[in-house]
Structure 1
């Protein structure tokens, strides 16, 4: 089966392409690096020819509110139109846990717009909502740094390994369309400040984590359940401490 992975050269996309290929599928990595641009439509028709499934794990190059909204609306419209022309039978998108609960957050609002376009399209679909990835923990800590301190709220946090995200998305992609969504998360739920306090210690990072209820995440203050599943969810098996053994901080 031909499966086109939009954003196929990125963190999750590259893992998906490799995993799907190992299972005998014709997995095509589609991204600006391979000549496919969903914002302009360049290369889409050629990439999607003969495809049964399209998986969209692409991301906006800018997280500024207007830019990220424009990216997801424009790229999703172009992608869905190209899929309809190519006869694609299943559209799969990777989204974020909690988008529906915090439409005031610009990035989440953009993902809501993306999902709305997908649901309004006649193409059968599946949406996978994932919690934050282990791979971005260092970037999040650096973004919250204030001199020698890292300011974090004490809200529920349940990150997941990128490999397990790719595994879950790949499993959905080769199955029947859900015409709905599922949530995936890591196996351990903790408080965000505690997670980063332990993480910095494990990394050998001398900065101190300070609990700050007003600390921002994607430009907004968080409430307790914003970043974790509130109902049934598929949980990964890899704990952060075990993941670090194969992915030591650099």
Structure 2
């Protein structure tokens, strides 16, 4: 494959990535929390960027609550323990509620609804829902990691006479484990971000800490949205 073909393939992946609304939202999120980190809650250009980006992101999330509502009413995967099913459904319900309420927050912040006190109350309630959904998400990932660990140990015993790292199934489970571990880290950090936004521990979780954690989780989200490099492989063939 020529360098031009390789460049075209890479640009194709970039276009594919940027065409995803979720990816653009996470890029804006990185800008939002990066600005919050820089401003540290002080007036200025960075804080203005933080506020304007926060409001702009809410447009990306209009009607997005339907996604989690669909996940909520969809049947769980077979073999999933009841506790993980309940935690997963709780996460979906809480996240859907957060996104639903966030639409009213956007309307209030945009002066469509002229009720500042009501908007502020709804905003706090929505953030509590998001924080709780992040806790549920973290617990789900912990449970799934435990299940994966048991499965990998069992498979490793079956492959003790061979190189387990050459086994496609074992490598697949390792990849799943890495992805879930990353999701667990993100969920835990998102809880800290929510605590910062709600100002539940203002001395410890300052705007700068909130911005730093939010920026890191945004980068993780951007990474999770990366498209597969399979198209490049096809082009090579």
Q: Which bracket does the TM-score occupy, shorter chain normalised?
A: under 0.3
What TM-score comes out, normalization by structure 1 length? 0.21
Q: Which has the larger radius of gyration?
A: 2
Task: Identify which of structures 1 and 2 has the higher relative contact order when contacts are C-alpha pairs closer than 8 Å and 6+ apart.
Answer: 2
Please state which structure has a larger fraction of its residues in strand: 1
What TM-score comes out, normalization by structure 2 length? 0.22
